Every structure is written in structure tokens, then in C-alpha cells.
Structure 1
């Protein structure tokens, strides 16, 4: 029986990067035989040439730039009779002569670089030059615009505008979209995506029985209105905001930034417009007469690591903190890897080191310190701080979940009022090597910072960020949301829209959604509803051989992608389906089960967090969002399932497949405890064996078991029941997993046997997969 049972046990999904991805990108925006600089040529040059012939002046060879047409067309410095590119004449272009050279001394890229252009890449460059070698601004730096909806082969399939763009691409590839997903599987998908939780039995039965045309729209609206929506969205934002409950570095003591997390949940549930949501986080303290909610939002900037180690150089760490703020803003909000320009001009994007420190200057006027004193006087927040008082909890901060009367310290932003700290370009990015003075500004290649329009502070930066002409902000967030619902963004490098970033699979769709998002008043829930209402999202996840062969990475979404749940959702699925979950929203982080000694092995032995003190009662069953994050020893189970360790801003999580994941699902105390509690409750309700198995299956997988699945589970249950009846002494040892109290129904062979069946169901691959 065990051999048969392994057929339905955990096989985590792996999302591999196919070798065909580069080829897929090359086909993205071409129409007919026209070669595009942006979508065909620049990626080749960026990968192979820009390191020596790109924006970085200090590393440029022979004075040649290939990223600008002015330089590429100009006479070569070392040979004035020759030109790198002669439009219309590939045979006269030195670029072609060098990439086709047979002499190693002449060949480009040079052999020692270990780079080599393929035959198709060489032919593409030659064809582009023959067509006129027309350069274009980088696509992501051009303000998005709405194009008309493309014509498609099936006028009946689209639910909304999204589907026209998806279907047009599928038509071009000769693929057809899938049929609609099974109704209950769609409900599971929607519920997990919008609330991070499985639907309750009551919701599932109600939706299953609703045959009206707007049944799905109604359930989408209900899920978006659920308080759990804010918790689900906060998981993403905590990764972006690098939220943690400790300071990092050696002593890694406790801090109290959790009221900021409560605010994020509140902001998403309230559907705070995205421009407001970000403006408050960047510069809420600089608004006219800011209130405590707006100031609390600026904790976003203060979630980075802080040192409490004696002997450090305060200025070195103060600079580190400002660098982190700069990098987080650029990666999360405008999707650019500007940190590459901290030490030198960016090698691939038109961002100079001066540009970098001009952006740095926006955050450099805060009075925070690099070191505040000995660890013995460690405080749960670093200056500047804001106090959350008891009266705030009955007023402007009524969303903060604080159960006692003590005040809470939160690290927030502030600026010097009567002085301006000077900012210098730092030679090689080193804190004590100032060179040229710079002032707050932004890279002109993205959008010029108009000093007559914007104040030269963080509030001005926020206004620049949401300018109608800013080409990045709306695209980046729309892409993040797409990634959340489809497992990968339209631009798969969600934190890098620069020259080295991935090309968009559906650029016109990305731009249409970006403009629509801005025109909606930056309405987050409206954007999400549009995505999940599309036929693209609502199609089934089944695949056939033709689709796998033509689009192995499902780049063009001819089916819904099967996606393993993230770490927090796996925990939430287990505690919610078993009935264990605490519904409390917000408040301080909690410490659930963790292997003994793990925490202590990574501690200095000083401070409040020297020992791991596990929580008790309902706190053991809080959602994964609230698990305590200690930076030097992040919680093991989330890390096993690719959770963020929160050291730095992270906009995309990996999805890996390791034996540890299967072992965790089979042996984790929470899985065993949840299985026992669910089995116990079903027996307590008087459910017969078959009915109990069916309900457990439905609670976890949101569908009825197939006949063969049911036969396997019944057989397994009978074997386990027989085993426990023959060896009653093993029952207690099996069911006592976890700390949830046992009752008179717990210590029986029937509960132990059903518990083992539930463990098996939790370990079905489908249980931790969104299909």
C-alpha cells in the first residue's frame, strides 16, 4: 500500500529556466522581417559588448561606445577612416568585420572574454545594419501609451482587454488558450491569490451552487473586501520593505517595527491609492502638517539592518544605511539596478556614478546615526523615532494591534530642518573618499528632475516618481502584480527594467495596463480585479505536448501556470484547513515551533534574543506573515520553501525543489499537529470514515477526491487503523504532536489512523500548488 500511496505524495513543482528563453525573447516584438534595436540588437550588444563599449567611461576600450548612435556612427579614434557602424552597409561596418574575424587578435568579443556571438546573432546584427541601423531609446525609458486592442481569432474568448493581447500573441504562435478552469479549482486559485487562504467550506458550497453569470465576479469582490486581502498583500510588501524583527549583525537585538506592518495591512485593505501608498512611505514626514499615520509609513525607509557593535566607525554605517534606502527605492519602485553605479558608472544602463549619488542625496539629510552606543543600552528603535501612544490607538492609529498600555517606539524618517548635509560622489563608493559635491536629482535617461517643479527633497522625489511622464513607476508595479498572480512578470526580471533586464513578453499589454492603472487613480484593487477576471487567468492549468514543445516556459500563457505556494501560504493552508488558525490581524511577531538550539547557534549570547522562547496558545497558530524574523537566524521552514531572509529588498522569490521540502511536509510538528486536530474534529463531529476522508480531502484540496484517489486513501486508512489497534501503545506517541490540547477523542486508534491519512493528503503535490 505504501508503494501505491507514494503516487500521490509530495512532488514539489520546479520552475526551470529553459534554454529557449533567450530565443523566446528575441521573437517578442518583431513583426515580419523588421529588426528592432530595442528587442533584438540591444540584448546582444548588452550581453557581449557593453562591458567594454558601453556607458562606463572608466572601463571603455578604444573610446568606442556602442550604446549610442552618435558614437557608433563616428569615425574610430584609432582608425579615422573606419566606422563601427555604417548604416545600410554591413560590409563597411567594423563591428561586422570584427565579429566575423577569423584572426583571434581581431575577433570581437575577444576569446579571453569567454563570450561568443552565435551565427544567428551575427546575421541579426548584419540585417539590422542593412536596414539602416536605427537606434531607439531603451523601451522602459519611453513613457507608456495605450495601443488599440489587437485583432484576434476568437471574439468570444476574451473577458477583458488583457485577453486580446494574450490571444493575439497565441494566434501568432499558432497556439490556442486552454478551456476554463474547473469551477472549484478556480475558487481555490482566486482565494489563495487574493487572501492567501483556502476558501472555507461554506464559501465553497455557496459558490459551487451559484450558477448565475456574475457568480465569479461576486466572489472576487468578496475576496477583495476580506480583511485577509491586506495580510496577503503584506507578505509581498514585507519582502520589498526588508521587514524584520531584529537589527542584524552580531548582537541582532529586538526591534519594534511591527506597527509599520499593521499599517501596510491597513493600507491595502483600505485600498489606499498606490501613489499615496508610496508617497507616504518615501516622504510622509515631509507632507504639510503630517499626521502620525503618514509618519509611521516612512518606517519603510528604516527597516534595513543596524549595527550595535562597539568599535565600528559610525560614518561608515551611516553611509551604508543611506545606500540601502537608495537601492531599495530604485529596485522596488522604479525597477532599476542603480546600486551598480555606487562604485563606478553603470556598465549597461545610462546611469553615472554622479547620478547614483544624486539619488542618494534625497535620503542623506536624515539625522539618523551610524552607531548609537553600547549594546547594553539597546533600544527597540533607532533615532529618529515616533512613539505610538495609547491615545493613538483610539484615533489615527486605530489599526495598530497593541494589547497593553505601553508605548511603542518605531524608527521613522525625519530631515534636518535648518541645515543641509552635503553629499559627495564617493570614490569607489567608499564612505571616507568624497570627491565631487552633488545635489538631489534623478537620471535624465529615465526622466529629468525639474527643479522648478519639484522640491529637492524626498517629497519632490515622490512627486517625480508619480509624474505622468515617468516611464517606470506604473510599469513596475503592474508587473509586480502580474508576477504575483502568474508566477512570473510580463518582464521576468521584476527588479531590473534596465538594459540587462528581461524583455517583456507582451510589451503592449504591459503599457496598456500601466496607463490604465494610472488613469484609474492608481487603484490597486481595480488592477487586481482586472487581472483575475481575465480569461487568461481563469483558464485551466492542463498542458499538452504541442504547447510544451513550442513554449516550454509558458512564456505566452497558453495555459495557467502551475505554481508552488510561497512559504507563508503553505503554513496558512495547513493551519486554516485544520481549523487551528488564529484570525487575529496585526500585532507583534510570534515565535512558532523551531528546532531546538538553532537560534542559539547563531547568536552572540547577548540581548533579549539570546534564547529562543517559543510562544504558546493561539500565538502558535498565527499566519505566516507574523512569524518572527531574526536576521542572523531566519525561521527555518520559510527558508526551506524559499522565503526571503529579509536582509535586503527582494521583489522576486526563487522556487526550488529540494528533499528538505518533502521532509518538512512529512515531519514538521505543525503538519502533524494540524493533521491530528483535523482528524480529531471530524471524528468528534460523528463523521464516518469515508465521509471524514472526503471532507478532509475537500478542506485541503478544494475538490472531491477521484474514485481511484478515494480507494487509495480508504485502503491506507484501513491499514493504519489495523496497525494502531494491534499496537495501541503507539497511538499516544503519534497523536501528541504539537501543543494543542488532547481530548477524549484524541488518544484512539481511529484518530491516529485518520491523522495519518490527513498527513498523506497534506503531502499531495496539489496541496501546496496553485493550479
Structure 2
């Protein structure tokens, strides 16, 4: 395959990139305000300082607590010091007699806090905030995320014409308070592309681009939003988020890594989003569908969510050790994906920062500890497509009841699901240091009281009770966490940036009143997910341009306060979808078993133990390999490297927010991945078979790849590049013939290979532009 580093090719890339792209440097760190606030708030000003600098020695974890001082609970913090009974760490209203202030202000290394050996320091502003808070009365508050959300009145605005819906009142009010002004509306083509990517994960076609090229009316924009929400691609896009949360994969993991068949559960998730299943029901079925009265097969299938964890197939393991590992995984996945708390930190000892004890952890663990699951159910040589407990679904049931399952020609499909022991209840113990073989105090199933009390008269002590507790309107976390997750996917950053952590170590919400308003409104409207997505994309906030002006760059470089729309690179799967859709290769089949695309030769052999059906990588062929990126086969021990390079989840554990990196390997993937090369070839031959006017062909290619029309300068640069490539291939026809062989899609032998290669090279160039893989 021809190298992409030729001088002329790189010159063309730099020219086009300079013409087409917005400013693309990494954004600097947020500018923080060093001013001490007039009124110090405990949750927003004091607790972050205490949590970061003090709680590791004076927080919830009793085993590491120093001097008997606990600062996270008011009564303890205000009590007399253990070793100095006449003195107090905090004296409300009197910082001069507060030992905390004396220690943080001291320059004596034997006195100052935090101690120098900890590596932690307080800034002068932070010291003054703590001092002022004490002088103002040292008032403690419950952690903001554990207080049930309430709807605030809409803020009063100077600019009353700008808001389209309630979201805009809150964002505009914050901009106003920060001295920022909103951006103009994005140009129609960029807004159209943004909307398609956010709602369906697919690009608009040329006909749609032409339809809205001149802009939208309010009615036409809303009609388009409604149409996109009704497309099957919406459910696929939403399911992609949930697959990361649920750690979905196509193998069991560990070294003897055999194939599993959880794809019927994935098909159900797509179906649930497309049918707009209320989020509370969506959660209830996944947590405890098997325990519901007269549970249907669909409800039981939904519980596959709990069984997506890794399962060993290596002989000789200790059964109980791995069984406990699976229950721990279920517990951690639930607490992260649904509650947005770092409960796993309390597995081995009390949480150091949040009010969760080790007892709290194993009480929550107890809900998942009654499944008749074993640590090892046969080794890889005896592998079955799913592990007990499992569900069997006949073709007859698929045809009549579970029509959303896209089953191949087979008599039955299976998936691992949940079920409880029928004749006994497994006793749960606090495991000393979290070790499977060191049971301590026995405990009963119970949810963490710091979040919300678990009323045993209201909820049964099983997973169904946990599910009901989870979706109770008074639960302060469930709606907030989900609303924030969807916001993060659409706006590029959560209102709480740490989407997986709403605890003391997590980020504070940038728009707390907006987050609470959305959470309550979401519940008020029956947990309607499509309505939530529509609210966000209909807002004026969403429709802003992503161009950065000088003022917003100085005041808010990371766009925390939303005075413009954030630019964000598309995810690995969506980049693949964009190439498949824009080139015309895409196979729109929904669901079914995952497929194995082009991969480097021998990719699985390097980690294989030499046993099982996944010992060797055997690529699929035909239309199967042109399905959407979410259906790519994920082997846990060797996830697809081209997707990992673009920060896809490796799916070995729950993940709500993916990292976004920028590395040279990503450029190499875009330059050399066979599916991108093949997409370039197929699009070039489709366009040439329709039209021989190269100017017109290049314009169509530009629109299909970048979803907008080029300006005169862009067209000139692209045409010049095409002509240079045409001349180069004319001088080396054998290279042209080799270049257009890539991929399995049938080649049009009637086309001139020189013209075909030159156009393919030009389209490949377009796919390699930053704009082609960025939502702007």
C-alpha cells in the first residue's frame, strides 16, 4: 500500500486543512478565579478543598484517620480534639481559636497542614476560603448530589429573545454572570451534520444537505429532529453509550478467551431505545426483570446487563474466588453506571472520601450475591455459547414475540441472564480486605443510606427491591446521572464533568440549577428519553456556532459556560460509520451476531493459549463486514486495535466517559485502515460511474465526506491535487492498478484505472482531514 507521507500529498493536506478547518489546538486549562467569594458555600467552595487535601487523613476511612479527627461529619469536626481536649479544630464564627486555621496558616513544617511529606499544599486563596467559612459560622451541608433535586424558577434574563426553551434560560444566565455573550447560530450545513451525528451517528446524505442548505425554519428544524428520533439509527447510537456502561463484549475474557452470545441482549437495548422505553422501566428490567411478577422472556433477557462481566474458562481456578469476582463486578457496574458513585473504593476498606463504609459496600453486594452462578462452568474446550443462568429463545418466539432479535438461521439463541437461588438465600459477609476467603461480619442486602434510606417495608430485600429503590423519585442520583450522561454525549462535556463520579472527589456541576431542573423534568415526564434528547438539540445553546472568539477564548477556553458549541472528535465506531455511509458501503442491518472486519494478520494468535474457537482470527466476508461499527466483534483479550487507538472502550469494565487522546497512531489508522481505503475506492467508482465531469465529481465527493459544499478556493486546491495525482499515476500505471485493488467490494473494471486511482487518492485525502472526523 502506498505511503501517505509523500511530500506533495502532505502539502495538499496542509493546504486543505488550513483552508477548511477551524482553529484546532488543544484548549488550555480553565482559568480559575482566585478571588475569595463574598459568601462561602460549603459544597461549592469548602468541601472540594477538604476532600482533596484533608479527607485522606481526616475523612471517612477509619483505618487511615489521624489524631482521631474526622472533618467530613459536622459533629466530629466540631468536637474537642482527642489529644487536646480543651481545643477544637473548628470553632464556628471564631477562626482565631480554630486549630484547623492555626495549622494551615503555619510555616512550621512540624505544625503545618497538610504535612509536607504528603505532597499536598493549600493555595493562599484556599486558606482564606477555609478561614472565612469558619468566621461565617462553619455551616455544614449534605453533599449536593445526595440531596433530591428540585426545580428552580427560570432565571431572569436581560436578553429575553435568545432562549428557545428552558435550557437556554439557565445557560444564558450563567454566561451573563461570567461576562460572556452567546455565539451566533451555526451555519446550516454544520448544524445539520451535528444533529445527524448526535441523534443517529450517521452523516446526512446529499439530498438532505441540499434540502437544508439555505437554513431552517423553526418548524422544519423540529420536524427533522422528530424524524431522526424515529429512525432506527437513533436506537443504535444510544445503545452504543449503554454498551460501554454495561461492558458488552463478544467473548468471556481472561487468557482462555472463548466466544459468548450476549448479542440478543444488545439487540434488546437497541429495541428499547427505539421504542422509547421509559428509563425507569429500562433500568428495572435490567436489574431485576427475572424477579418481576410473571416475568416475560423479554424481561428476563434484559437482565443480561448484569452478566456481561468477564468469566473465566481456565481450568484449575478456585471456584469461590471467581464467583466473588463476578459479584463484585456486578456491584461496581451498577453503582458506577446507574448511581455515578465510586462504590468500588469501599471494597477493601471504608471509602476515603465519600460516606460509604465497607459494610455499605457488602450490603449492596448482597443484592447480587444470590445468583446460582459458579466461578468456572467448564473450561474452554467444553465452552458453550452462554453461561448459567441462561435464557433459551426459540425461532418461534423470535418470530412471534421477540421480533427485535436478529437471529441467524438457527433453532435457538441463548444469552446469559440473571436468576436467584430457588431453595435458599446465600449469606453475605463483609470480606476482610475484600478477599474472597476472609469472611467477617454477616450483613443483609441494603442500599447505601448516605444516598437514600432503604425502607424494608417498602422494598423487598432482593434485586427487585434495589431496582425500585433506584427509580424512586426521591433517589437523588438516578435521574441526575442519566441526564448528565446524555448531556455529555451531546455537548461534549457533562454538567458534572466526571460523569462516573458524583461524589466528593468528582467535579462540581457547572450549572447545578439546570442539572436539577432537567432531572426533575425528566422524571415529571415519565422518564422519556427521546423527549430529553429533543430538549437538548432543540435549544439555542445547542445550535450555536463552535467558532471561538477572543473573549470566550480568554474567559472560558474549555467552554465550561457554553457560550459556543464545543467541537468534539467523533467516536471510533462513528468514524467507521461515517466512512461506510458516505462511501455507500454501509449495510444497514440492525442487530444480530457481531462481525469480524479487516484486521492485521495473526492478531489473535499472539495472545491465544492455542485453544478454543477464538484461537485464530477468521475474517468475515461479503456485506457482513460493512455493518455499523457498534457490531464489530470485541474479543476482550484483544479488542480491535484501530478502535482502541481512537479511544473506544476495551469493555473489560464499566465506562461512562471515554478519554479523548490525540496521537500519531490515529493519523496512521486514517491513512492505512483498509476500510477507509476501500471506502475511498468505492466512493470514487460510484461517482465516476455517474458523471465524468471531474469538477462535479470532486464537489460531490467533498459534500459526501465533509457534509457541506466547498468554497472556490477549496475546490481549486482539491482539483489541483487531483490533477497532480492523475499525472503521477499516468507515469506509473502499475501503481494505480495496485492502489485500486484494496478491499473486497467488487471493482468496476470499466473505469479508467488512472482516473479511478487519482480520484480515490483525492477522496482518501478528504477522509484524512480533521474536519471529516469532527463534530463542529
Q: TM-score range by the shorter chain?
A: over 0.9
Distance in 2 separating the partners of 1:765 and 1:278: 37
Shift of 1:7: 3.0
Shift of 1:211: 5.1
Distance in 2 separating the partners of 1:418 and 1:14: 62
Match of 1:548 in 2: 553
Please tell me whether residue 764 in structure 1 is matched to residue 769 in structure 2: yes
Shift of 1:210: 7.1
Shift of 1:549: 1.1
Match of 2:445 in 1: 440
Distance in 2 separating the partners of 1:13 and 1:676: 30
Match of 1:463 in 2: 468
Match of 1:328 in 2: 333
Match of 1:109 in 2: 114
CA displacement 1:275-320 (0-9 Å, x = unmatched): 0001000000000001110000000000000001111000000000
SS in 2 for 1:700: helix
Distance in 2 separating the partners of 1:747 and 1:738: 18
1:15–1:655 CA contact under 8 A, matched in 2: no
CA displacement 1:525-577 (0-9 Å, x = unmatched): 00000000000000000001211111111111111000000000000000100
Given candidates 270, 276, 298, the residue that maps to 2:275 is: 270
Distance in 1 separating the partners of 2:188 and 2:452: 46
Please tell me whether residue 682 in structure 1 is matched to residue 687 in structure 2: yes
TM-score between the two structures when normalised by the length of structure 2: 0.97
Match of 2:30 in 1: 20
Given candidates 562, 565, 569, the residue that maps to 2:570 is: 565
Q: Which 10-residue stretch deviates more, 33-42 or 686-695?
A: 686-695
Shift of 1:16: 5.8
Q: Which runs of 5+ in 2 are unaligned?
A: 1-7
Given candidates 215, 219, 226, the residue that maps to 2:224 is: 219
Match of 1:360 in 2: 365
Distance in 1 separating the partners of 2:678 and 2:583: 9
Shift of 1:14: 7.8
Distance in 2 separating the partners of 1:707 and 1:89: 70
SS in 1 for 2:397: helix
Distance in 2 separating the partners of 1:602 and 1:193: 36
CA 164–12 in structure 1, closer or farther in 2 if over 3 Å, else same: closer
Match of 1:412 in 2: 417
2:607–2:637 CA contact under 8 A, matched in 1: yes
CA displacement 1:127-160 (0-9 Å, x = unmatched): 1111111110000000000000011221111110
Match of 2:308 in 1: 303
TM-score between the two structures when normalised by the length of structure 1: 0.98
Match of 2:50 in 1: 45
Match of 1:63 in 2: 68
Given candidates 93, 96, 101, the residue that maps to 1:96 is: 101
SS in 1 for 2:541: helix
Please tell me whether residue 191 in structure 1 is matched to residue 199 in structure 2: no
SS in 2 for 1:435: strand
Match of 1:294 in 2: 299
Distance in 2 separating the partners of 1:417 and 1:275: 27
Write out aligned runs for 1:88-237 (5 A). Answer: 88-208=93-213, 212-237=217-242
1:480–1:494 CA contact under 8 A, matched in 2: yes
Distance in 1 separating the partners of 2:690 and 2:596: 31
Please tell me whether residue 587 in structure 1 is matched to residue 592 in structure 2: yes
Match of 2:455 in 1: 450
1:230–1:265 CA contact under 8 A, matched in 2: yes
Q: Which runs of 5+ in 1 are unaligned?
A: none
Distance in 1 separating the partners of 2:238 and 2:692: 36
Write out aligned runs for 1:555-634 (5 A). Answer: 555-634=560-639
1:177–1:539 CA contact under 8 A, matched in 2: yes
Shift of 1:442: 1.1
1:35–1:128 CA contact under 8 A, matched in 2: yes
Shift of 1:405: 2.3
Match of 1:728 in 2: 733
Q: Which 10-residue stretch deviates more, 353-362 or 205-214?
A: 205-214
Given candidates 520, 528, 531, the residue that maps to 2:533 is: 528
Please tell me whether residue 386 in structure 1 is matched to residue 374 in structure 2: no
Distance in 2 separating the partners of 1:740 and 1:15: 37
CA displacement 1:451-502 (0-9 Å, x = unmatched): 0000000000010001111000000000000001011100000010000000
Distance in 2 separating the partners of 1:585 and 1:221: 20
2:392–2:415 CA contact under 8 A, matched in 1: yes
Match of 1:740 in 2: 745
Shift of 1:375: 2.2
Match of 1:659 in 2: 664
CA displacement 1:85-144 (0-9 Å, x = unmatched): 001111110000001112111111111000010100001111111111111000000000
Distance in 1 separating the partners of 2:497 and 2:24: 16
Shift of 1:202: 2.2
Match of 1:400 in 2: 405
Given candidates 755, 760, 763, the residue that maps to 1:755 is: 760
Given candidates 710, 718, 723, the residue that maps to 2:723 is: 718
SS in 2 for 1:408: strand
1:12–1:765 CA contact under 8 A, matched in 2: no
Distance in 1 separating the partners of 2:13 and 2:301: 52
Given candidates 6, 11, 15, the residue that maps to 2:14 is: 6
2:188–2:215 CA contact under 8 A, matched in 1: no
Q: Which 10-residue stretch deviates more, 560-569 or 148-157?
A: 148-157
